[in-house]
Chain A
Amino acid sequence: MADDVTALIDAANNGDVRALQGLFVHVYDELKRLARRQLAASAAPTLNTTGLVHEAYLKLVGPDGRSLHGRAHFFALAAKAMRQIVIDHARARLTEKRGGEHLQMVPLDEGLEVADGELPPDELLRLDDALALLEAEEPRLAQIVELRFFAGLGLAEIALLQSMSERTVNRDWRRAKAQLYASLHPDA
């Protein structure tokens, strides 16, 4: 497993789009699988995105890890996958709430929901849209948002992965938040 993924990471690094997609599916599935497993084994029925992403890394890539570049790539991907999972479920919850048709997205698990944290599902969806716009203009900022918000990584960890100073990451994060907040609350 670890070897497959390593090969996929390498291929993706060399610009293989199919490999990238394969990798994404892998990570996405693994995250969901881990979530289920952690639930079944846990006395406290809670889990968290940060733990999941790290555990997925250990499972998919292995403890000796990869080059920093490979790690950065993996976490970027995992963060994107988490974003996808979170947004899918926000959408599902919203559909449910509005009594709409059964969701098009496959639910993560029957008994698993995405909590909204401070953000309710509809706000999460608007955030996702705003993030897509930011991505088009400043991909670096958008990636920091994915790593920080969706994958729950700390700013220091992101700085390490992105080979940037923590100060820069912090400034980018703050500007990204301001941009997103402003697009979510245009009247402010």
Chain B
Amino acid sequence: MKRERVSELFEQAIDMAPGDRAAWLAEQCAHDAGLLAEIERLLRADAMAQRFMEQPPALIAGAAASAAAPCASDVVPPAFGAYRIVRSLGQGGMGEVWLAERNDGEFEQRVAIKQVAYPTPGLLLRFRQERQILARLEHPNIARLIDGGLAADATPYLVMEFVEGVPITDYVRAHALDLPGCLRLFLHVCAAVQYAHQSLVVHRDLKPSNIFVTADGTPKLLDFGIAKVLTTTDAGAPTQTMARLLTPDYAAPEQFQGGAITTATDVYALGVVLYELLAGRRPPRSSAGDSTDTSHAATAVLPPSAALEHATSTISRRALRGDADRIVLTALARDPRRRYPSAEALAADIQRFLDGRPIAARGDGKGYRLRMFVRRHRYALGAAVIVFAVCIAATLVSQWQARIARELATRAEAAQQFLVGVFEQANPDQNKGGAISAQSLLEKGELQLSSDQSRQPAIQADLTGLIGALYWNIGDYERAESLIGKAVAMAADPRVPDEIKARNFGRLASIENDKRKFDATIEHAGRALDLAKRAGSAGTRDAIDARRVMALAMVGQGRAKDAVPLLREVLAQDRLSGGDRSGPVALDLYLLGEALDELSSYGEAETLLREGIATAREVHGNLHSSVANGLNELGLMLGHKGDVDASEAPLREALEINRQLYGANHRETLVSRSNLLRVLENQGRFEEALQGRLEVLKATEAIGDARPEQVAYAHNFIALDYRNLGRAVEAEQASRAALAVWAKVQGSNDEWDSADPMRGLAQALQLQGRFGEAEAAYRAALAVEARHEPANSHWLNRDRGFLGELLRLQHRHADALQELREASAAISVASGNSDPIFCVLQSQLAEAELDAGDADAALRIATRALDMARSALPPRNYRLGGPLFAQARAELANGHAARAEPLLRETLAVRHPPYPGDDLRVLEVKASLIGALIVLQQDTEARSLRSEIEPLLKASPSPYANDLLARLALH
């Protein structure tokens, strides 16, 4: 395509209102999709590049800086209106600073006059900015702006209050201030900085030579020359053409690294000044370290007490040790998130120290733990955790910062202001130093959000969504949904940028997915994806998140096959943007492993899950929810594969991690516990499992019913345990309880979730001999499954197997054979041979063939089923019972009593326990064993067995018991 044409169209397009562009461009590029794409690409870049390259790279002075030589200006001082120059005060960042006086006959005033040395457009803008900033600052501890004007040579100048004093460091030394004296003086400095911050001004160049103390002991902040206004009121704000400037000794790490400049930047500089005041020397430069090392400054910086210049100081090492050290080091944290969030917070801690109260900067270890709690916010289930206000505020800020790292700084800073505000309201003072809950902190945030509507719509929308998502995490689902609903509704506001609309739709999709509303999830994730794409690079992250949620919903719908390629794409994108070792990569590996698990691709699933766990360990350390989640998935997957014993270790470690992270009764821990109980159940240890299940149910109910599916699952598993312990009536009650929960949640028992408890109910009824009701329940379960699952579904065909078995017990052999043959055929196509469900199905088919009269077919099928079962299941597993018994019966029917006998004894061993002695699943084996023993002429044992089981069979209400009695009579 022609370059000129591209530039021509681009230039015309940028003159248009953005809304008019699309139609016009479509018309211009009607026959050239490539041209259109190129222009659109440029326009997207144009929108993103507003601030790009608007700050020229600056040269920063290094060590040479401190050796300030006397100014040797050869320029004749110009005249500044009514002011008369007395002498030069030195050179500032933009040019000369003069001492001048004004004498209008009445009184004499001494002032400092600042002039621009090279009046370039950039400098002039900066100059104007400083003037505007100073004009809005009126504080007893900030040097005032008095006047401004144009000099004779047309260069502008500023007239400022001349502070007659000395730098704060000199003042402290000259007056030999003790520790409390020093700190009290410093509190005034904090107050001035806090005042500037509240006026949305960051100083960015705080240092002793900019903090003068007058003879009467009043500190004054000078030189807002490189200060910055935090929020711009309109898009037409002057772009900063001046280079970024800084003083290396006092500059925060983020200033060297081009990170976001926030109020925390000034807090860092205050920390350096305080350090210097207390220790008599400066800490090492922050540029010296590596920014990726987020460890506390304590690891790098010597505490002031240890750095103290003892001989010269009036401050004792002992006075500094402990809290004073901790305050300074917290202000000096390399990671802005770990610093005091505001000058006021720093001042508050200093005041606490002076009052002899406990300071807030304590308890770093706990803070770290909590940070981990919220950082994983989207994908994990959180709960109300009692925390220190300081910790949770740091958490919110850090979470926020992680999110906005890529966004416009103004938006980020305004949001941070908001969070700092939340923090301040949650001040430990107001809570009497006690703990507050995450819940109450969020409530404060929500209140603040709704009480102040002056915020930019973009920020309002994003914060509303964020707080909604956090509510979801701590389990307050009603508020979460209402806030996220509001946040999504703000998408209609044209001032909300696309990436934020995308994010809020993503948040909505995410909770819908948790609620198993998969159609809605996919719809809203799709909208999020479209919006994120439209937002260009600002939406990259949100596009990935939207795809991921979409894939999760597909897995939920049973479309794991569709989800896998989507997840592979997400994984590739996350690797591209964050490298091979990152939190998102670990998460993607888990999700992909989970989807492959669904597809029974166990080999690849295991590889990916193990890789994900290793990644998570590397990124987060061992004690982290992400590690626990991965171990959990791995354990479940191994269980599905039939490798029951191998699944125990990862599930146990996951439980241990969650117990440490959340405590024993947190939902996350309970889910983990439930998964481990599944192992016991797979191993046939139902008595132990039942005790655990009942405890889990109690704890889950205590959490509240906002996520009732956990209660339903608990009932369902309890039913399973009761069934396998032969306690059929209790099993029936538990299944009905699970069904009742689902009916309440979903309005009926027609949804997929009800299929499993419905089938459980059928089994419980069958055990009680209530065959008619059981058949109806099986058919109801199958009808639901048929609506939600493909014909070759594992679960669907397993349940057809159960129905087939019931039909056989009712002597409806043709129906039984048809059901079992079809189910077997469907499932053997769907998966490999070493599948426990397939083995059971085959053994059911073998018994049906046998009872229908084909002993040959029965033996053939049963032999294969037992072979497969032995390779798929651990030895002595209770699920071997079906295949063993089928094989034994087939052998016996073919006249091989000697082969049948050991098989029957083995069957008894695997079935009893767990099944009790009077259970028909045990009695049927004994009945067959009697037959074998008679053939083998072991009459004594046969007789004693018969007298043992006959009364039990007669006592059973099941029609099957009668059949077994009839079979005994034949022998």
Does B48 sit within 8 A of A, measured CB to CB?
yes
- Mark each residue of chain A from 89 to 110: 1 if its CB lies under 8 Å from any CB of chain B, else 0: 0100000000000000000111
Question: CB-nearest residue of chain B relative to A112?
Answer: B62
Does A20 sit within 8 A of B, measured CB to CB?
no
- Residue in B71, B97, B120, B258 whose beta carbon sits within 8 Å of that of A41 in the complex: B71
Q: How far is the CB of B137 from chain A (nearest CB, A)?
A: 20
Does B244 sit within 8 A of A, measured CB to CB?
yes
Does B63 sit within 8 A of A, measured CB to CB?
yes
CA distance A150 to B55 in the complex (A): 9
Question: Which chain B residues border A46 with CB–CB below 8 Å?
Answer: 58, 60-61, 65, 93, 226, 245-247
Also in contact, A181 and B117, with CB within 8 A (given A46-B246, A118-B258): no
Question: Which chain B residues border A180 with CB–CB below 8 Å?
Answer: 49, 52-53
Say which one of B3-11, B502-510, B552-560 lies at the interface with A: B3-11
Task: Please tell me if the beta carbons of A49 and B59 are within 8 angstroms of each other in the complex.
Answer: yes
CA distance A137 to B225 in the complex (A): 40
CB-defined A-B contacts under 8 Å, sample of 20: A45-B64, A46-B61, A46-B65, A46-B246, A49-B243, A51-B120, A111-B65, A114-B59, A115-B58, A115-B245, A117-B55, A118-B54, A148-B53, A150-B57, A171-B11, A174-B14, A177-B45, A179-B45, A187-B540, A188-B44
Task: Please tell me if the beta carbons of B53 and A45 are within 8 angstroms of each other in the complex.
Answer: no
Does B695 sit within 8 A of A, measured CB to CB?
no
CA distance A113 to B60 in the complex (A): 5
Question: Which chain A residues border B93 with CB–CB below 8 Å?
Answer: 44, 46, 48
Q: Which residues of chain B in 79-108 are interfacial with respect to chain A, using CB atoms and an 8 Å cutoff? A: 90-93, 97
Also in contact, A181 and B52, with CB within 8 A (given A49-B58, A175-B11): yes
Q: Which residues of chain A in 161-188 are interfacial with respect to chain B, using CB atoms and an 8 Å cutoff? A: 171, 174-175, 177-182, 185, 187-188
Task: Please tell me if the beta carbons of B7 and A117 are within 8 angstroms of each other in the complex.
Answer: no
Task: Please tell me if the beta carbons of B60 and A115 are within 8 angstroms of each other in the complex.
Answer: yes
Question: Which chain B residues border A19 with CB–CB below 8 Å?
Answer: none
Question: Which chain A residues border B76 with CB–CB below 8 Å?
Answer: none
Q: How far is the CB of B24 from chain A (nearest CB, A)?
A: 17
Task: Please tell me if the beta carbons of B123 and A51 are within 8 angstroms of each other in the complex.
Answer: yes
Does A154 sit within 8 A of B, measured CB to CB?
yes
Question: Which chain A residues border B368 with CB–CB below 8 Å?
Answer: none
Task: Please tell me if the beta carbons of B56 and A45 are within 8 angstroms of each other in the complex.
Answer: no
Question: CB-nearest residue of chain A relative to B123?
Answer: A50
Does A1 sit within 8 A of B, measured CB to CB?
no
Question: CB-nearest residue of chain A relative to B242?
Answer: A48
Does B618 sit within 8 A of A, measured CB to CB?
no
Does A4 sit within 8 A of B, measured CB to CB?
no
Q: Which residues of chain A in 111-149 are interfacial with respect to chain B, using CB atoms and an 8 Å cutoff? A: 111-120, 124, 127, 137-138, 145, 148-149
Question: Which chain A residues border B65 with CB–CB below 8 Å?
Answer: 39, 42, 45-46, 111
Does B175 sit within 8 A of A, measured CB to CB?
no
Q: Which of A114, A127, A155, A182 has the most CB of B within 10 A?
A: A182
Q: How far is the CB of B601 from chain A (nearest CB, A)?
A: 30
With A150-B56, A152-B122 given, can you name 14 additional A-B contacts, CB distance below 8 Å? A35-B59, A36-B64, A42-B61, A48-B59, A50-B122, A55-B118, A116-B257, A124-B57, A149-B56, A152-B243, A175-B7, A175-B11, A181-B48, A188-B48
- Chain B residues in contact with chain A, CB under 8 A? 3, 7, 10-11, 14, 41-46, 48-49, 51-69, 71-72, 90-93, 97, 117-118, 120-123, 209, 223, 225-226, 241-248, 256-258, 536-537, 540
- Residue in B46, B48, B61, B225 whose beta carbon sits within 8 Å of that of A45 in the complex: B61
- Chain A residues in contact with chain B, CB under 8 A? 35-36, 39-52, 54-55, 86, 90, 108-120, 124, 127, 137-138, 145, 148-157, 171, 174-175, 177-182, 185, 187-188
CA distance A155 to B258 in the complex (A): 25
Question: CB-nearest residue of chain B relative to A116?
Answer: B258
Task: Please tell me if the beta carbons of B63 and A110 are within 8 angstroms of each other in the complex.
Answer: yes
Question: Which chain B residues border A148 with CB–CB below 8 Å?
Answer: 53, 56
CA distance A125 to B140 in the complex (A): 46
- Residue in B14, B54, B59, B64 whose beta carbon sits within 8 Å of that of A115 in the complex: B59
Q: How far is the CB of A29 from chain B (nearest CB, A)?
A: 15
Task: Please tell me if the beta carbons of A154 and B121 are within 8 angstroms of each other in the complex.
Answer: yes
CA distance A187 to B536 in the complex (A): 8
- Residue in B52, B61, B242 whose beta carbon sits within 8 Å of that of A111 in the complex: B61
Question: Which chain B residues border A112 with CB–CB below 8 Å?
Answer: 59-62, 64
Also in contact, A178 and B45, with CB within 8 A (given A43-B71, A45-B65): yes
- Residue in B10, B63, B67 whose beta carbon sits within 8 Å of that of A178 in the complex: B10
Question: Which chain A residues border B247 with CB–CB below 8 Å?
Answer: 44-46
- Residue in A47, A120, A153 whose beta carbon sits within 8 Å of that of B59 in the complex: A47
Q: How far is the CB of A80 from chain B (nearest CB, A)?
A: 14
CA distance A175 to B12 in the complex (A): 11
CA distance A42 to B89 in the complex (A): 11
Question: Which chain A residues border B209 with CB–CB below 8 Å?
Answer: 43
Question: Which chain A residues border B10 with CB–CB below 8 Å?
Answer: 175, 178
Q: How far is the CB of B165 from chain A (nearest CB, A)?
A: 16
Question: CB-nearest residue of chain B relative to A45?
Answer: B65
CA distance A160 to B64 in the complex (A): 36
Task: Please tell me if the beta carbons of A185 and B11 are within 8 angstroms of each other in the complex.
Answer: no
Task: Please tell me if the beta carbons of A115 and B122 are within 8 angstroms of each other in the complex.
Answer: no
Question: Which chain B residues border A187 with CB–CB below 8 Å?
Answer: 537, 540
Task: Please tell me if the beta carbons of B118 and A50 are within 8 angstroms of each other in the complex.
Answer: yes
Task: Please tell me if the beta carbons of A138 and B91 are within 8 angstroms of each other in the complex.
Answer: no
- Residue in A51, A120, A127, A149 whose beta carbon sits within 8 Å of that of B258 in the complex: A120
CA distance A116 to B257 in the complex (A): 7
Question: Which chain A residues border B120 with CB–CB below 8 Å?
Answer: 50-51, 54, 152-154, 157
Task: Please tell me if the beta carbons of B48 and A185 are within 8 angstroms of each other in the complex.
Answer: yes
Question: CB-nearest residue of chain A relative to B58?
Answer: A115
- Residue in A36, A51, A55, A178 whose beta carbon sits within 8 Å of that of B42 in the complex: A178
Q: How far is the CB of A4 from chain B (nearest CB, A)?
A: 23
CA distance A173 to B14 in the complex (A): 12
Question: Which chain A residues border B241 with CB–CB below 8 Å?
Answer: 50, 152, 154
Question: CB-nearest residue of chain B relative to A149?
Answer: B53
Q: How far is the CB of A180 from chain B (nearest CB, A)?
A: 7
Task: Please tell me if the beta carbons of A42 and B68 are within 8 angstroms of each other in the complex.
Answer: yes
Task: Please tell me if the beta carbons of B59 and A117 are within 8 angstroms of each other in the complex.
Answer: no
- Residue in A44, A110, A155, A182 whose beta carbon sits within 8 Å of that of B91 in the complex: A44
Question: CB-nearest residue of chain A relative to B576?
Answer: A187
Question: Which chain B residues border A86 with CB–CB below 8 Å?
Answer: 57
Question: Which chain B residues border A49 with CB–CB below 8 Å?
Answer: 56-59, 243
CA distance A137 to B2 in the complex (A): 12
CA distance A145 to B91 in the complex (A): 30
Task: Please tell me if the beta carbons of B51 and A113 are within 8 angstroms of each other in the complex.
Answer: no
Question: Which chain A residues border B11 with CB–CB below 8 Å?
Answer: 171, 175
Task: Please tell me if the beta carbons of B90 and A171 are within 8 angstroms of each other in the complex.
Answer: no
Also in contact, A175 and B3, with CB within 8 A (given A48-B59, A115-B244, A116-B57): no
Task: Please tell me if the beta carbons of B3 and A138 are within 8 angstroms of each other in the complex.
Answer: yes
In the complex, the 4 A-B pairs of residues with the closest C-beta atoms, listed nearest first = A45-B65, A154-B121, A111-B62, A188-B537
Q: Which of A44, A86, A182 has the most CB of B within 10 A?
A: A44
Question: CB-nearest residue of chain B relative to A52?
Answer: B59
Task: Please tell me if the beta carbons of A51 and B117 are within 8 angstroms of each other in the complex.
Answer: yes
Task: Please tell me if the beta carbons of B41 and A182 are within 8 angstroms of each other in the complex.
Answer: yes
Q: How far is the CB of A118 from chain B (nearest CB, A)?
A: 5
Task: Please tell me if the beta carbons of A41 and B52 are within 8 angstroms of each other in the complex.
Answer: no
Question: Which chain B residues border A43 with CB–CB below 8 Å?
Answer: 68, 71, 90-92, 97, 209
Q: How far is the CB of B116 from chain A (nearest CB, A)?
A: 10
Task: Please tell me if the beta carbons of A41 and B69 are within 8 angstroms of each other in the complex.
Answer: yes
Question: Which chain A residues border B66 with CB–CB below 8 Å?
Answer: 45
Question: Which chain B residues border A153 with CB–CB below 8 Å?
Answer: 120-121
Also in contact, A185 and B45, with CB within 8 A (given A42-B68, A112-B61, A171-B14): yes
Task: Please tell me if the beta carbons of B243 and A119 are within 8 angstroms of each other in the complex.
Answer: no
Also in contact, A157 and B121, with CB within 8 A (given A44-B92, A175-B11): yes
Q: Which of A113, A114, A178 has the most CB of B within 10 A?
A: A178
Task: Please tell me if the beta carbons of B57 and A119 are within 8 angstroms of each other in the complex.
Answer: yes
CA distance A117 to B243 in the complex (A): 6
CA distance A182 to B55 in the complex (A): 18
Question: Which chain B residues border A155 with CB–CB below 8 Å?
Answer: 121
